[in-house]
Chain A
């Protein structure tokens, strides 16, 4: 549970840190602040709500993965833990997801510069690599299955299936938003209309890449 604790502490620290910048020490009953002073100026946050929403959601997802990883470490102390031979295809998958993330980043840059073609290429390639990653993950499952590791064979394989499935589901959720955005681009929307969606997707993909790298490291190390 130490890991969950550290992650929770980090998230709480971020929240408290932000709140401290909210002049938590002011005496609000003293009318020193003039009415024209407003929320935005004071909080210095001019992010659109969706972005903050995504940030909060990522905090929830971080908590979820951290708890799974905590459980992983606690369960690993059991005597019946057998090390799993991770399929080699995972290395390829990691490369694919990295490429996916890179192309999303390119889409984002293009969106900021207003280049619709760049956005199209970035989104298409990013999505394609992500699908390839998911297909690769399924293949990895097949390989494990073929070598006799089923869902309930051993705690190591239990966790392998569980963690990869969870990560994959998060990616699928992302792909849904990706699909809507890509469809918009194709239906001829302006760059300005999709810029925010592209940015959100990119942040989300980077997050899931980091999560995957941590999970992959974890699966490799045991």
Chain B
């Protein structure tokens, strides 16, 4: 490696990352509909995901109505209740969170943050979105077919998923399986892009260890997803064949509704293994991007480098690798060989260690920082608090013995909503408040943002923290109604009603957020290119919002890591990644 003296550093050799030829469309449709620009695709993904997420939010409101006030609403029957449970879960986990984090944030941020003009395969990227949209439409179509959507729970366990006695066992489940298969195909197209872009299209000087943690999180999550989604794909295909062609992959001998069925020898446990081989990494597919983004939010708004960057990267890798060997902790009471419990309890609790390290490092980043309590920062703090809570209850469920009384109860529901719903959603909100100025050129309204934060943060804690205790009492999940039982105190029903009221309020308040998104797009305060004083490349683009091609005539050259905040001896409290050594930082006021 040739040594070049510092005074030559203004010399920029020709880029060794080849210039990509971008397809620049002329028409509106080409620009905004059939677009190959990752940023437009990102927004398409995000809007679709949020729209379908709103459907799922409404479904959850209906479920809460039933749980809080049983036998009051005639349109909620046991069948529709289960259908709502299923659709809510599946939409939120796959079609909202996975699509939003990887398809939305991944598409927007990866090329900008690594200093690329676009994804490496823009055409495939575009097809990825349209396949995703088709999957969403297929799923939504299941509301309108005979029998309605499937009501087999988001885990779709056979045999019941494809048998009479479960709603949507004929049309609904097939649409669900086919939709998932399409989602996986679409995702694989996108995922190839994310991985190869990070590997091959980083700009000059952007070593892996100079990547912002956001990119690390999305990168690792995509790798996990690429390896884990095939498991879901396999189980979808085999269950579709079981249902339509009468094979017996998952179906043992069964008497359904008094009739001997023509199945035999199959193993329902096999499905569960395949499902959770996908299902557990799925948790981290959602969590890792959230971890990455929240690291950047905390660092930027505390004006301090992320504490222990290397440890953070290693933790992401460790979590990613370990998450492939913990799946059966979802199956402690599934009837699988109980000796597996020992192995999976150990691996599961081991994964707590790198996760805990990440939490410590976030908090230690705040320590001795200069913390701006902006809306993104508030959401980041909200995330850390929620995630600590949800992570710790995970230690209950991951430890095989402690799981026994709690498995399949409301404790599980409370736990995974805390850790997988509220915590990532906090990051989603924080990230939107943080990057909205880059996407639109305008700030989101601060007052509305703060109101939105407090209502969402306090409200969701009030929903899910007490819910754990319903689980201790023994209230099972996926129960349409408890009825009169002798082991539940009357007060447990009042608690359920209370949770419902809070949930409906929190759900309704999200309208404020949507309003803010729309209002600020037209009326928001102009933000300039780098309102937060951040170092990463997406804030250094010549245009805000960035044009197709991102970086103007020449790609930026990276000279430093992503966390040069408050470097001693430098006037400004941040140094952009593309600022050559010895140059003065462009101040906030100049932008």
Contact of A36 among B2, B247, B249, B563 (CB under 8 A): B2
Decide: A22 and B209 in contact? CB cutoff 8 A: yes
* Residues on B with beta carbons closer than 8 Å to the beta carbon of A34: 1, 3-4, 9
**Does A11 touch B at the CB level, under 8 Å?**
yes
Interface readout for A65-92 with B: 1 if CB under 8 Å, 0 if not? 0011001001100111100000000000
**Does A1 touch B at the CB level, under 8 Å?**
yes
* Residues on A with beta carbons closer than 8 Å to the beta carbon of B205: 33, 35, 37-39
* Residues on A with beta carbons closer than 8 Å to the beta carbon of B191: 56, 60
**Does A19 touch B at the CB level, under 8 Å?**
yes
**Known pairs A9-B324, A39-B16; A155 contacts B207 (CB<8 A):** no
**Does B132 touch A at the CB level, under 8 Å?**
no
Decide: B313 and A71 in contact? CB cutoff 8 A: no
Decide: A27 and B202 in contact? CB cutoff 8 A: no
**Considering only CB atoms, which chain B residue lies closest to A26 in the complex?**
B209
| Among A16, A34, A41: residue with most chain B CB under 10 A | A34
**Considering only CB atoms, which chain A residue lies closest to B207 in the complex?**
A42
- Report the stretch among A44-52, A121-129, A140-148 that lies at the interface: A44-52
**Does A221 touch B at the CB level, under 8 Å?**
no
Decide: A80 and B264 in contact? CB cutoff 8 A: yes
**Considering only CB atoms, which chain A residue lies closest to B15 in the complex?**
A38
**Does A217 touch B at the CB level, under 8 Å?**
no
Contact of A71 among B200, B234, B581 (CB under 8 A): B234
Contact of B195 among A40, A47, A56 (CB under 8 A): A56
**Does B201 touch A at the CB level, under 8 Å?**
yes
* Residues on B with beta carbons closer than 8 Å to the beta carbon of A67: 230-231, 234, 274, 277
Minimum distance in angstroms from B15 CB to a CB of chain A:
8
* Residues on B with beta carbons closer than 8 Å to the beta carbon of A80: 248, 264-265
* Residues on A with beta carbons closer than 8 Å to the beta carbon of B580: 35
The range of chain A's interface size is 35 or more
Q: State which residues 193-220 of B face A: CB under 8 Å.
A: 195-197, 199-210
**Does A94 touch B at the CB level, under 8 Å?**
no
Q: Bound complex: CA of A39 vs CA of B555, how far in Å?
A: 13
**Does B120 touch A at the CB level, under 8 Å?**
yes
Decide: B241 and A56 in contact? CB cutoff 8 A: no
Q: Bound complex: CA of A78 vs CA of B264, how far in Å?
A: 9
Contact of A12 among B204, B231, B321 (CB under 8 A): B321
Minimum distance in angstroms from B12 CB to a CB of chain A:
8
**Considering only CB atoms, which chain A residue lies closest to B246 in the complex?**
A152
* Residues on B with beta carbons closer than 8 Å to the beta carbon of A1: 273, 277
Decide: A19 and B561 in contact? CB cutoff 8 A: no
Interface readout for A50-61 with B: 1 if CB under 8 Å, 0 if not? 101100110110
Q: Bound complex: CA of A52 vs CA of B191, how far in Å?
A: 13
**Does A177 touch B at the CB level, under 8 Å?**
no
Decide: B249 and A75 in contact? CB cutoff 8 A: yes
Minimum distance in angstroms from A82 CB to a CB of chain B:
10
**Does A151 touch B at the CB level, under 8 Å?**
yes
**Considering only CB atoms, which chain A residue lies closest to B115 in the complex?**
A39
Q: Bound complex: CA of A48 vs CA of B301, how far in Å?
A: 38
**Does B192 touch A at the CB level, under 8 Å?**
yes
Decide: B563 and A29 in contact? CB cutoff 8 A: yes
**Considering only CB atoms, which chain B residue lies closest to A68 in the complex?**
B234
Minimum distance in angstroms from B22 CB to a CB of chain A:
14
**Does B452 touch A at the CB level, under 8 Å?**
no
Q: State which residues 1-31 of A face B: CB under 8 Å.
A: 1, 4-5, 8-9, 11-12, 15-16, 19, 22-29, 31
* Residues on A with beta carbons closer than 8 Å to the beta carbon of B266: 75, 78, 155
| Among A11, A50, A52: residue with most chain B CB under 10 A | A52
* Residues on A with beta carbons closer than 8 Å to the beta carbon of B248: 80, 152, 155, 158
Contact of B200 among A11, A15, A45 (CB under 8 A): A45
**Known pairs A12-B320, A31-B581; A56 contacts B226 (CB<8 A):** yes
**Considering only CB atoms, which chain B residue lies closest to A150 in the complex?**
B245
Decide: A151 and B247 in contact? CB cutoff 8 A: yes
Minimum distance in angstroms from A4 CB to a CB of chain B:
6
Interface readout for B309-347 with A: 1 if CB under 8 Å, 0 if not? 110011001001100110000000000000000000000
**Known pairs A22-B208, A53-B120; A63 contacts B9 (CB<8 A):** no
**Known pairs A64-B234, A71-B234, A152-B247; A39 contacts B17 (CB<8 A):** yes
**Does B396 touch A at the CB level, under 8 Å?**
no
**Considering only CB atoms, which chain A residue lies closest to B563 in the complex?**
A29
Q: Bound complex: CA of A40 vs CA of B106, how far in Å?
A: 23
Minimum distance in angstroms from B23 CB to a CB of chain A:
16
Q: Bound complex: CA of A167 vs CA of B234, how far in Å?
A: 13
Decide: B203 and A28 in contact? CB cutoff 8 A: no
Interface readout for B289-317 with A: 1 if CB under 8 Å, 0 if not? 00000000000000001000110011001
Q: Bound complex: CA of A64 vs CA of B267, how far in Å?
A: 20
Decide: A41 and B324 in contact? CB cutoff 8 A: no
**Does B233 touch A at the CB level, under 8 Å?**
yes
Q: State which residues 109-147 of A face B: CB under 8 Å.
A: none
Q: State which residues 55-100 of B face A: CB under 8 Å.
A: none
Q: Bound complex: CA of A24 vs CA of B9, how far in Å?
A: 25
Decide: B188 and A60 in contact? CB cutoff 8 A: yes
Interface readout for B8-28 with A: 1 if CB under 8 Å, 0 if not? 010111001100000000000
Minimum distance in angstroms from A69 CB to a CB of chain B:
10
* Residues on B with beta carbons closer than 8 Å to the beta carbon of A28: 207, 209-210, 309-310, 560-561
* Residues on B with beta carbons closer than 8 Å to the beta carbon of A16: 317, 321
**Known pairs A15-B223, A49-B121, A79-B265; A71 contacts B238 (CB<8 A):** yes
Q: Bound complex: CA of A28 vs CA of B563, how far in Å?
A: 9
16 residue pairs A–B, Cβ–Cβ below 8 Å: A12-B227, A12-B320, A15-B223, A24-B310, A29-B561, A31-B560, A35-B557, A38-B16, A38-B204, A39-B204, A53-B196, A60-B230, A67-B234, A78-B265, A152-B247, A158-B248
Given A5-B324, A67-B277, A162-B237, 8 more pairs with CB closer than 8 A: A5-B325, A12-B321, A22-B207, A28-B207, A34-B4, A39-B16, A49-B201, A71-B234
